[in-house]
Amino acid sequence: MEFYFLGTNAGVPTIQRNVTSIALRLLEERRSMWLFDCGEGTQQEVLRSPLKLSRLEKIFITHLHGDHLFGLPGLLSSRAYQGGTTPLTVYGPPGLKQYIELSLGISQSRINYQLHIVEHTGGLLFDDGQFRVESALLDHRIDSYGYRIVEMDKPGKLNQELLERYGIKPGPVYGKLKRGESVEVEGGVMLHPQDVLGAPKKGRIITILGDTRPCLNTVVLAQDATVVVHEATFLHELADTAYEYHHSTALQAAEAAKAAGAGQLIMTHFSSRYKDQEQLQPLLEEARSVFPNSLLAEQHVLLPVPDIGS
């Protein structure tokens, strides 16, 4: 899995950074892409990236402020022109359905794929046996949600040496054992998955948070996360400003990651007062003083999701 940041700025776009949108590429897992927020200009950033809207499977909107939402109608409309024919589901707070349907209806946009809109107020959004996604309310000026994506544990590695002793070569039998099915081998012996599979590979946990002040649910959603993506709109010297506008500082993002026992923190949603990556370095230093494994999101830069234990 990989993160690809299509926008990292707060409020309005700047010459250096677009407003918020995060792509999560699911490579081996399902050859698809999920999008978290869709600020104005997101589809243009996609065109400058290696991402393909035809592989877009799900969109998760954290809240209904324009810098997280205004790019959605255009992207939905353009997806069909970029080979997107498979169903697409959009999740977000109440009001999202009205916004999408009104925007597409007035503009007479035609969607030639199945579009599902799921409004929620938190809780379990889906569990398909491969991933489970949960959401919870944060603390912002309007209802803003964070998302917790849990990858299910994967079967352990097959003991190929043992399988070869039974005369089993790579093929359909391997697949059955990996799926937890027992198979009969020569001599009528039943071979069970637990006989030939190693310990399961622990699934990763990814937490992506919307705009928020520090609150309990940031820690709950990020508990034991492999990676947590947290807004860091200001340096902590502007903590009063952050509180007034219902945002967090880099230091507060780091404190949340530490309290949750997360493995890695990626900060995004930076104020326009920090013009470029060089001016963002103090935010990184501030976060690392509390949580050393902190990173700054950067547009059009891939950030792999670490494997457990790496």
Bind-site residues for Zn(2+): 63, 65, 67-68, 140, 211, 269
Interatomic CA distance for residues 224 and 93, integer angstroms: 25
Interatomic CA distance for residues 146 and 39, integer angstroms: 16
Interatomic CA distance for residues 102 and 122, integer angstroms: 24
Amino acid found at 178: K
Residue 18 near residue 129 (C-beta atoms within 8 A):
no
Q: Are strands 131-137 and 145-151 parallel, antiparallel or unpaired?
A: antiparallel
The three-point CA angle 99-91-268 to 5° equals: 95
Other C-beta atoms closer than 10 Å to the C-beta of 116 total 10
CA proximity to 193, closest of 175, 172, 178, 214: 178
- Is residue 224 annotated as part of the catalytic site, yes or no? no
Q: Considering 37, 67, 153, 307, which one is annotated as catalytic?
A: 67
> Residue 117: beta bridge partners?
90
Q: Are strands 88-92 and 205-209 parallel, antiparallel or unpaired?
A: unpaired
Give the relative orientation of helices 96-106 and 72-79 as an angle to the nearest 10 degrees: 60
Interatomic CA distance for residues 15 and 235, integer angstroms: 21
Residue 18 near residue 39 (C-beta atoms within 8 A):
yes
Beta strands in the chain (DSSP E): 2-7, 21-26, 32-36, 56-60, 88-92, 115-119, 123-127, 131-137, 145-151, 183-185, 189-191, 205-209, 227-231, 265-268, 294-296, 302-304
**Which tokens sit at 307?**
């494997």
Query: Hey, is 141 helix, strand or coil?
Result: coil
Query: Which residues participate in the annotated binding site?
Result: 63, 65, 67-68, 140, 211, 269
Q: Which residues are annotated as catalytic? A: 67
